[in-house]
Amino acid sequence: MTRKIAIFDTTLRDGEQSPGASMNTEEKLVIARQLLRLGVDVIEAGFPISSPGDFESVRRIAELAGDQATVCALTRAVEKDIDSAADALKYCKRPRIHTGIGVSPSHMRDKLRITEDECVERAVKCVAYAKKYVEDVEFYAEDAGRSDYAFLARVIEAVIKAGATVVNIPDTTGYSLPEEFGARIEYLMNHVDGIENATVSVHCHNDLGMATALSLAGVRCGAAQIECTINGLGERAGNTAMEEVVMAIKMHGEELDAHTDINTREFIKASRLVSSITGMGVQANKAIVGANAFAHSSGIHQDGVLKKRDTYEIIDPADVGAGQSQIVLTARSGHAALKHRLEELGYELEGEPLDQVYDAFLNLADKKKEVYDEDLESLVNERERNESALYSLEGVQISCGFPLTPTATVTLRNQADQVVTACEFGTGPVDAMCKAVNKIVQVDNDLTEFSVQSVTRGIDALGEVTIRVTAPDGDVYTGRGADGDIVVSSTKAYLNALNRLLNDKQGKRG
């Protein structure tokens, strides 16, 4: 029997640190439900001390998970961080506190300004302090990929003696080569007294495009937990992609002496859900979950696949949830069919929220022959985006074309139920629209990114716009909007970004 490799998902913590990928509590709960369907072993739900929203997310995900998964909260090696994490996990059935400190010369010298002895002392202290609250304590040795072998072993041995049940060896900067990182894990397995009493975990970043290879090298040399995210979301170039390492282990389990308990048929749903909520698209040629992962355009490839699938496909698409039969939703579909399909996508709606999505669904279905899963995700997210809006769109009208001057008339409704209209000129229709919205909302911002793509195939597809704006203090806010009219989509997206900016600033002032 091969070794069980625990899958530690950090989409809701490290993944959320991708610029523009922040999620609110309700969005995190939707993703957490899908992670439970996947069967992940650990959900790192957030960094409780960082904000009231993160604290609440950890608390509610801990409640949601029950006995199904361990719920983990991140901290620095600071007592108040650990106190906050323990408070958020108070009613969790399987709690874990994840605490640690930088161990590389760079981190100790330039960031922390401490000596090696002080580093060991602080590492032991934070683990012992967390141990007062929970039995399951994970220690992360930040930037372990660039640390001294002997010193890293010294730190790991000390924290295991202090009570750490899991020791996380991150390649925080994605610097290592797979062979070297594997050798580092092997060194720890052979030189740390008591290493058999703890689970060795790997947490790798993709700065050089090798996060999956690094994680697998760690497993080959003794690691029994992989920390990863859906779609490889994460800081900078991202983290190890869960779908990649899990399918690699599934394909090469005997060679790696490894297996996982992940329900791989949920990968496509998970990928689309995370992409939809965060606004971070998945490249078409992305391994396992990309749109082209199981597509064949070459005539030679097509001929081979038609004769026998595995001539060009090493993975059965059904094993990751691709190409499954699905209910075809049209204007003749009722509430029951819509509710069933939404539940399959991870959305649990009842009563008025379901009625609102159903009405939007009927309006869309009247314009399209078929409504796809991506359309439904856009409709649900559109409703959720409007729930906490300080300003809602009542109407937008554009006049443009050669030789006209682009002109936009925008009508918004504010929280006081007042309807305000503004008209502005611009260099193009979107520029004119943004100026008109700014005239009403009056909040300083810089539009730094604008992208548009069709949600599904076909000339009648919804157009989905993603906009990112930067506030004067440097904070980035993402807005998304979908509609059959690209200008309307753009207006919804821009207004969504400004509403997020305003809500955040009001929350900080409060």
Whether residue 509 is predicted with pLDDT greater than 80 in this model: the reply is no
Q: Is 107 annotated as a binding residue?
A: no
pLDDT tens per residue across span 69-97: 999 999 999 999 999 999 999 999 999 99
CATH number for region 390-508: 3.30.160.270
Whether residue 324 is predicted with pLDDT greater than 60 in this model: the reply is no
Q: 345 falls in which pLDDT band (50, 70, 90)?
A: confident
Burial of residue 379 (CB within 10 Å: 0-12, 13-18, 19+) is buried
Q: Outline which parts of the chain fall under CATH 3.30.160.270.
A: 390-508
Instruction: Name the least confident of 42-51, 170-179, 264-273, 299-308.
Output: 299-308
Whether residue 205 is predicted with pLDDT greater than 80 in this model: the reply is yes
- The pLDDT of residue 158 is 98
| Average pLDDT taken over every residue of the chain | 90
Q: Is 190 annotated as a binding residue?
A: no
Provide the 8-state DSSP code for 71: E
Give the count of alpha carbons within 13 A of 505, CB side only.
Answer: 18
- The pLDDT of residue 325 is 32
Query: What span, in angstroms and rounded, lies between the C-alpha atoms of 4 and 287?
Result: 23
Query: What span, in angstroms and rounded, lies between the C-alpha atoms of 130 and 133?
Result: 6
Of residues 15 and 220, more confidence is placed in 220
- In the 3-class helix/strand/coil scheme, how is 244-270 assigned residue by residue? HHHHHHHHCHHHHCEECCCCHHHHHHH
pLDDT tens per residue across span 111-170: 999 999 999 999 999 999 999 999 999 999 999 999 999 999 999 999 999 999 999 999
- The pLDDT of residue 329 is 67
Instruction: Name the least confident of 2-6, 124-128, 158-162, 454-458.
Output: 454-458
Q: Outline which parts of the chain fall under CATH 3.20.20.70.
A: 3-278
| Token couple for 140 | 């992360």
Q: Tell me the pTM.
A: 0.75
- The pLDDT of residue 327 is 46
pLDDT tens per residue across span 191-202: 999 999 999 999
Whether residue 350 is predicted with pLDDT greater than 90 in this model: the reply is no
Strand partners, 72: 44, 96
Q: Where are the alpha helices (DSSP H) in 366-412?
A: 373-387
- The pLDDT of residue 419 is 95
Q: Is 191 annotated as a binding residue?
A: no
Per-residue pLDDT, averaged over 314-323, amounts to 86
- The pLDDT of residue 222 is 98
pLDDT tens per residue across span 259-291: 999 999 999 999 999 998 998 889 989 999 987
Whether residue 301 is predicted with pLDDT greater than 70 in this model: the reply is no
- The pLDDT of residue 510 is 56
Domain 3-278 grouped into CATH 3.30.70.1350: no
Distance (Å) of CA 193 to CA 151, 154, 155, 158, 181: 14, 9, 11, 9, 20
- The pLDDT of residue 295 is 72
Run of H or E residues at 430:
helix 429-441
Query: What span, in angstroms and rounded, lies between the C-alpha atoms of 495 and 390?
Result: 9
| Token couple for 311 | 């001539």
pLDDT tens per residue across span 380-435: 877 776 666 789 999 999 999 989 999 999 999 998 889 999 999 999 999 999 99
Of residues 124 and 454, more confidence is placed in 124
Q: Is 239 annotated as a binding residue?
A: yes
